[in-house]
Amino acid sequence: MINIFKQDNNKILLKNVYSKFQKDKWVNGNIVKVLEKNIKKFLKTNHSISTCNSGSDALMLALILDKKKNKDIYITTPISYLATSSIPKFLNLNLIYIDVNSNNYLMSLDKLENFLKCCPKRIIKRIRGVINVELFGQTCDLDKLKKISKKYKLSLIGDCAQSFGTYYEKKSTISYYDLAITSFYPTKIFSCYGDGGAIFSKKKLKKLNLLKNNGHTESDKTTCKVLGINSRLDSLQGYILNEKLFKLKKILNKKKFISKFLFNKLHKYFQMPTFNKNVNSNNYVFSFYVNPVKKEKFLDHLNKKKIECKTFYPKLLSSNKLLKPIYKTNLKNAEYSVRSLISIPSHENLNKAQLFQIIKVINGFK
């Protein structure tokens, strides 16, 4: 089976663990601090960074930091992993979903602006900010998004769980947000050997470092300064990420080559999503549209031929009973996307024979 993701299992990295940790700690080790500095340097961002236990924890901590009295609503997209909506709901926040573009699966900024123009006063006065999801490594016109947020005095939170290494106008997309989060889950391009995540902020993260450390400092564990949780990145994962960061540029270049190859071979026969020309994506997942009537047959055809093919998000977040919006909007483009959007293998370990096999099998579909 040619899988969409290939789980990394580098024996050399694991063999070197013992020697690396003879003089370091498993929790709150120096290697984590080194990793945070190295990530900041790699992304060339001025944002502060703090690692944590997962991308979901990162979003929860970001929302806690962004809390504002009498502002309990966030705007986001209906197409994403559950955590984009479940974490705000867990914090007793409310959501409004904005439809995606007709030519891709990202939140429509035109529809966002139109909604804000026409939004009832009783609702708009409660809106705190926008959670922009950079799905599959792609993103929108971030300059336009910033202008909209500034006009309506909204905070901007970037759900960059899938877009580490994506750039907009030659700058890391993370740098465009008030707060941004990412995930180091094992299927991500930049991944560890378990759960892991990070928060990025324009401001210093003194409060966050307390929040993720049960409310206390590293030097004084007896004084609770804020009510917090335990969400620290293990030093082992910090070591893994630090080692993999040095090879990330090579991986991003390979992903770009593979995605370009697949696009060139398939764009004449399938509807491809199109994106802002200023975006240099990390090409996390390669996705395109198929006729909804033929979608199930297409999925079955590829999987029978041992090529994993799937729809990552077969239903809208808004259709989940526990994630329903406080104010309904028209989501017709998103509804079409979940009926027609599929994803195929594009990971960096694919060889030439596998790439041609994928194309051959897809072209054999009737």
Handedness of CA 305, 270, 295, 257 (dihedral sign): positive
Distance CA 101, CA 141 (A): 12
Strand order of the β-sheet with 179-183 is 48-52, 197-201, 179-183, 155-159, 127-133, 73-76, 94-97
> 43, 13, 303: which is closest to 175 by C-alpha?
43
Asked if residues 331 and 99 have their Cβ atoms less than 8 Å apart, the reply is: yes
**Model pLDDT for residues 231-288, shown as the tens digit of each residue:** 999 999 999 999 999 999 999 999 999 999 999 999 999 999 999 999 999 999 999 9
Handedness of CA 218, 222, 224, 230 (dihedral sign): positive
pLDDT of 18 reads 76
Residue 20 has pLDDT above 80, yes or no: no
Strands 167-168 and 341-344: unpaired
**Model pLDDT for residues 66-97, shown as the tens digit of each residue:** 999 999 999 999 999 999 999 999 999 999 99
**Model pLDDT for residues 92-141, shown as the tens digit of each residue:** 999 999 999 999 999 999 999 999 999 999 999 999 999 999 999 999 99
> 246, 253, 163, 151: which is closest to 200 by C-alpha?
163
> 321, 323, 334: which is closest to 96 by C-alpha?
323
Tell me how far apart the terminal alpha carbons of the chain are, to the nearest angstrom. Answer: 21
- Identity (one letter) of the amino acid at 239? Y
pLDDT of 218 reads 86
- Identity (one letter) of the amino acid at 149? S
**Model pLDDT for residues 175-208, shown as the tens digit of each residue:** 999 999 999 999 999 999 999 999 999 998 899 9
Domain ranges of the chain: 1-366
- Identity (one letter) of the amino acid at 94? N
Encoded tokens for 311: 């729809």
Q: Supply the pTM of this predicted model.
A: 0.96
Contacts of 190 (CB under 8 A, 6+ apart): 164, 165, 182, 184, 241, 244, 245, 248
Domain spanning 1-366, CATH class: alpha beta
How many H-runs (helices) and E-runs (strands) does the chain carry? 14, 12
Distance CA 137, CA 286 (A): 9
